[in-house]
Chain A
Amino acid sequence: MGLTGLEIYKHLPKTNCKECGSPTCLAFAMALAGGKASLDACPYVTDEAKEALDSASAPPIKMVRVGTGDSVVELGEETEIFRHDKRFFHPTGVAVLISDTEDATAKAEKFEALEFHRVGMDYKTDMVAVKCDSGDAAKFKAAVEVVAGKTQKAMILMAEDPAVMEGALAVVADRKPLVCAATAENYEKMVELAKGKGCPLVVRGKNLGETAELVEKIVALDYKELVLDSGARETSKVLADLTQFRRLSVRKKFRPFGYPAIAFTSKDDPREEMIQAGVYLSKYADIVVMKASEKQQLLPLLSWRQNLYTDPQKPIAVEAKLYDVGTPNEDSPVYVTTNFSLTYFIVEGEVESSRIPSRILSVDTNGISVLTAYADNKFSAEIITEAIKKSGVEDKVNHRKLVIPGYVAVLKGALEEESGWEVMVGPREASGITKFSKDNFA
């Protein structure tokens, strides 16, 4: 990532043999820098040069996978500090914690039932963490077995005693759980276990320095499927450490921190815990482990994750179609707006709060807002008329009255002529809809 052609050129044989297909080594270096060629095309590149170039072109944060099949969770490969600079790529894994001292069956069943549907999307938690609080290897193994039997989702096994870990890991190793955690005391044995089963491993230090040191020791043992934990548990300290992980890896290419990071909540109050998890999710945790497992707690958190990880460069659109709000009948009002999701949901919310069942026709404007779409000729009399015909609204209502956004009042004449519908000019801002609908339709 980010190597220039000249930097790459230094590592090439400089013989201009043309065997790679490029006329000169410099031309080949330029093609490599632009991502248009692969280093494999050069038969003479040395192993040292290859390693230097590979590591220089590796992403600043390695991708680590937990789980298998449909339940795999991909973590890392982030490149930004701020989402507005480009985007965040791999949504934080939200893990619910189950202790081997609680009723693992009940909690696992509850966990498995956590799925939400809102604004046309499905949200779910994607990981389950089983923690050894009992100190008893058999008990931990049994809890892991129970949870594994209840859910197919990616697992995190939490125990610092390698002997305890070994038994449980043997049961679920083929599901590639995240082994948590290697510490300064146990890392040789933990690496052996994780590496032996090909499972990712949490590296837990007592501070940033110790974490970096431990990563280097583990990398020296030739294992790189790692996830970072600085050991901090206080909100403010965790925020600082997660920020350093992200900054030092992305900005300085500090290799020991070039892995995804995990954070654990410490609050006992469920509300405070949820908000603490939100802070970590906002600022750079690739996995958040929390005890909370109630729907009303997880819905806001998962909604925030969905929002944070959207692509800021891409307007989000809803499907362009006729939507029902409440249970409308043949006399219910019809509103028209664009398919920019923000506009649509605000209009929908206001129409809903009017408590008058209605329909909303969302017109395909490529996901841009009313005024922009109008200026761009994507929200014209012709396009709206076509959307009316296509939507089938003419078969669903007896009347021919359409409410348009106040900002495009100017469309009234042309739209009436084009569509044959009577056009009512609605308010300019969605916040006026409640009153407008009460005045006109109550």
Chain B
Amino acid sequence: MAVEILKEKYRSKVGEVVLGATKDQGGTRSHTITVGGESALPFLHFEGEIPNRPVLALEVWDMVPGEWDPLFEKHYADVWSDPGAWAKKCVEEFGADLIQVRLKSADPDFGDSSPEDCVATVKKILEAVGVPLVIVGCGKAEKDNLIYAPIAEAAAGENLLLGVAELENYKAVTSACMANQHNIIAQSPIDINICKQLNILIAEMSTAMASRIIIDPTIAALGYGIEYSYSIMERARNGALQGDKMLAMPMIGNVGLEAWRTKEANTSTEAEPGWGEQEERGLLWEATTAMAYLQSGIDIMVMRHPDALKVIKANIDDLMKDNSY
């Protein structure tokens, strides 16, 4: 019996964004990474193009991440006092597609390192690895606004992904990206209207920047509101495919950071024997969070546990197989 396959006809597609630049393109990366470009819902190859596979970054901090669960020591303690070596291990040993550098030490409460220190860290990582970089500040707007411009300038030509821009604080980072042709993370608090509004404001500052935006819709971890961000992302992606230009950007999420804030990832086996073995539970908590966002349309995920990255990479391999009828 012939079944008439239902293929959605979409009017539009997600824009493509290239991260990084090789020597020929004015940078020093060994290769570039292209994200976005989908003209179908996640992995429904039968109705459109999924030209670029979702990519996975690992987190590198510019200081020893004292707040991480002690179980990470065996994976990172040998390198986490040296961001360059840390990044190298993530790429060479763990297979990260990208590195996300978090300039945590710029935080006035965590060392208050200077913009010059931050620039030095970024340069060090650029030298240590060839993959494109994502750079984010410490999360305190007043301080981050002082570091965006020097970093953007020092890494001119590298085609970074720099962030984050928020509705109340987007001008400094947008200007820094505009002046040196970097890409920008536009972060909105699980709210599709604010997401659009911020993209419009950035595009108003510079039309060229409109095609350099990566949306961070703010993701929650499994068990802590994941369904809200999942649905916001599904709506954003549907909007993009139906022709809403201000939603037609690739999306990024801090999966590792969020998953490893949860009780389920951080509680020891002894404290909760009913939940099973901690490290396996924690990395699957992270991987399950990632799995769900892949199904709602994410393009870049920042992971933390090397084995969570590995299992999600295998899942992406499987999902990228053609399923045309």
Q: Which residues of A contact B (CB under 8 A)?
A: 82-84, 115-119, 208-210, 212-213, 216, 234-237, 239-240, 243-244, 247-248, 251-252, 254, 256-257, 269, 271-272, 274-276, 278-279, 282-283, 294-297, 299-301, 303-304, 307-308, 310, 312, 342, 345-346, 348-349, 352-353, 431, 434-435
Contacts and interface: CB of A to CB of B under 8 A. Distances in A.
Contacts of B277: 294, 296
B270 interface: no
8 contacts: A210-B1, A213-B1, A216-B1, A235-B321, A236-B319, A275-B287, A296-B281, A353-B266
A89 to B, nearest CB: 15
Q: Interface size for chain B: under 10, 10 to 19, 20 to 34, or 35 or more residues? A: 35 or more
B227 A209 contact: no
A248 B5 CA distance: 8
Contacts of B74: none
Nearest to B324: A240
A303 B274 contact: no
B223 A118 contact: yes
Nearest to B2: A209
Nearest to A431: B139
Given A84-B231, A248-B6, A307-B223, A240 B1 contact: no
A84 B264 CA distance: 26
A234 B321 contact: yes
B5 to A, nearest CB: 6
Contact of B291 (A236, A254, A282): A282
B284 A282 contact: no
B235 A235 contact: no
Contacts of A275: 287-288, 291, 311-312, 314-315
Contacts of A276: 315, 318
B281 A208 contact: no
A435 B139 CA distance: 14
A431 to B, nearest CB: 8
**Which of A234, A295, A296, A345 is the most central at the interface, judged by chain B CB atoms within 10 Å of its CB?**
A296
Contacts of B287: 271, 274-275, 300
Given A247-B6, A283-B295, 10 more contacts: A84-B235, A115-B274, A208-B325, A237-B321, A244-B5, A279-B294, A294-B276, A297-B284, A346-B225, A349-B263
B63 interface: no
A294 B280 CA distance: 10
B200 interface: no
Contacts of A434: 67
A349 B235 contact: no
Contact of B225 (A209, A216, A282, A342): A342
B61 interface: no
A296 B286 CA distance: 12
A411 to B, nearest CB: 22
**Which of B227, B274, B278, B320 is the most central at the interface, judged by chain A CB atoms within 10 Å of its CB?**
B227
Contact of B3 (A119, A208, A303): A208
A212 B322 contact: no
Interface string B283-325: 1110110011011000000000001000110110011111101
A294 B311 CA distance: 17
Contacts of B225: 342, 345-346
A216 B3 CA distance: 12
A24 B52 CA distance: 60
B29 to A, nearest CB: 30
Nearest to A240: B323
Question: Lowest 4 CB-CB distances: which A-B pairs, in order?
Answer: A296-B276, A295-B276, A296-B281, A240-B323
A307 B222 contact: yes
Contacts of A240: 44-46, 323, 325
A272 B3 contact: no
B167 to A, nearest CB: 14
**Which of A213, A272, A434 is the most central at the interface, judged by chain B CB atoms within 10 Å of its CB?**
A272
A237 B324 CA distance: 8
A280 to B, nearest CB: 10
B269 to A, nearest CB: 9
Nearest to B272: A118
Given A83-B231, A274-B284, A300-B285, A236 B1 contact: no
Contacts of A257: 3
Contacts of B230: 83, 307-308
B183 interface: no
B153 interface: no
B262 interface: yes
Given A236-B318, A295-B275, A295-B276, A353 B261 contact: yes
Contacts of B43: 236, 239
A275 B283 CA distance: 11
A345 B224 contact: yes
Nearest to B223: A303
Contacts of A301: 288
Interface in B132-176: 139
Contacts of B288: 274-275, 278, 300-301, 303-304
B244 interface: no
Given A304-B226, A312-B231, A297 B264 contact: no
**Which of B231, B281, B287, B323 is the most central at the interface, judged by chain A CB atoms within 10 Å of its CB?**
B323
B183 to A, nearest CB: 25
B251 interface: no
**Which of A300, A310, A353 is the most central at the interface, judged by chain B CB atoms within 10 Å of its CB?**
A300
B319 A349 contact: no
A342 B229 CA distance: 12
B143 to A, nearest CB: 14
**Which of A118, A119, A301 is the most central at the interface, judged by chain B CB atoms within 10 Å of its CB?**
A118
Nearest to B321: A236
A117 B311 contact: no
A135 B318 CA distance: 31
A301 B266 CA distance: 17
Contacts of B322: 236
A235 B226 CA distance: 22
A308 B227 CA distance: 6
A299 B261 CA distance: 17
Contacts of A282: 291-292, 295
B178 to A, nearest CB: 28
Interface in B249-269: 261-264, 266
**Which of B283, B291, B314 is the most central at the interface, judged by chain A CB atoms within 10 Å of its CB?**
B291
A288 B28 CA distance: 47
